[in-house]
Amino acid sequence: SRTFWVGGNWKMNGSVAAIKDLATTFNAGSSPSDVEVVIGAPFVYVHLLSESLRKDWAVAGENCYVESSGAYTGEISPEMLKDVGAQWVILGHSERRSILGESDDFTAQKCVKALAAGLKVALCVGELLEEREAGITQQVVERQLDAVIKVLKEEDWANVVIAYEPVWAIGTGKVATPDQAQETHAAIREYLKKAISPKVAEEIRIAYGGSVNGKNCKEAAQKPDVDGFLVGGASLKPEFLDIVNATQ
Ligand code: 13P
């Protein structure tokens, strides 16, 4: 069975003082040994977080570039993230896709480079509100996945978690119902069975993201195809520990 995965995505939030405080809170909390926990921090705080955070939790970058080093002003390589203590990187977040204009193929290239550098990848996919209303959720998610499926080898998927994050549920307080999450996760798994292999489909973790909090996580966590959460706002609060314990 799949190890439950809970990710925090701090986005562009935090400060040295706030991170030290939050790490102290998280380090004192209970974290089940059968749950994998990862916190994504802004690049400039990755090193501080990796030094401050409990060692049974891992640290993620929230993005990376597609080269190891060179004349790419302002970019950060997967190797650099590893060097400062990250084991994971969040890629394809809807905020990168829609605000920064990053394409499916660029996201896929980032996955290739990050995995080659030895990082694990939380790959975000998800539809806009108008896409859900138009009934094309599945096509959108499959298009986003196809770009990555095209460029990864089957064995690479062992180091990928898929985060299904419907854009209309992100930061809106409008959480997908547990049934909506289950339905899309099951459809994603079914698609991966055909598009990659039954083994990858069975083993890959599919986490839900979008307005997850300490209260609404419990019921969703019971759904057979919900293998975890990617949490924005609530990962900046002590409440994140309740989500880490959602399956308990
Ligand atoms: P919220 O939990 O704030 O809705 O954000 C979800 C998200 O985007 C996690 O990557």
pLDDT in tens, the chain (248 residues): 899 999 999 999 999 999 999 999 999 999 999 999 999 999 999 999 999 999 999 999 999 999 999 999 999 999 999 999 999 999 999 999 999 999 999 999 999 999 999 999 999 999 999 999 999 999 999 999 999 999 999 999 999 999 999 999 999 989 999 999 999 999 999 999 999 999 999 999 999 999 999 999 999 999 999 999 999 999 999 999 999 999 99
Distance 166 CA to ligand 1 centre (A): 10
Cα–Cα distance, 240 to 248 (Å, whole number): 14
Mutation pick for ligand 1 pocket among 123, 170, 208, 216 (CB with most ligand atoms within 8 Å): 170
pLDDT of residue 101: 97
pLDDT of residue 11: 98
pLDDT of residue 181: 97
* Residues annotated as catalytic (active site), given as ranges: 93, 165
pLDDT of residue 25: 98
pLDDT of residue 76: 98
Task: From the CA of 172, give the closest atom in ligand 1.
Answer: 4
Pocket of ligand 1 (CB under 6 A): 9, 93, 165, 170-171, 209-212, 230-234
The protein residue whose alpha carbon is closest to atom 2 in ligand 1 is: 232
pLDDT of residue 7: 99
pLDDT of residue 61: 99
ipTM: 0.99
The protein residue whose alpha carbon is closest to atom 5 in ligand 1 is: 232
Cα–Cα distance, 207 to 91 (Å, whole number): 14
pLDDT of residue 66: 98
Residue by residue, DSSP assigns the chain as -PPEEEEEE--S---HHHHHHHHHHHHHS---TTEEEEEE--HHHHHHHHHHS-TTEEEEES---SSSSSS-TT---HHHHHHTT--EEEES-HHHHHTS---HHHHHHHHHHHHHTT-EEEEEE---HHHHHTT-HHHHHHHHHHHHHHHS-GGGGGGEEEEE--GGGTTSS-PPPHHHHHHHHHHHHHHHHHHT-HHHHHH-EEEEESS--TTTHHHHHTSTT--EEEESGGGGSTTHHHHHTTT-
Distance 229 CA to ligand 1 centre (A): 9
Mutation pick for ligand 1 pocket among 10, 11, 88 (CB with most ligand atoms within 8 Å): 11
pLDDT of residue 222: 98
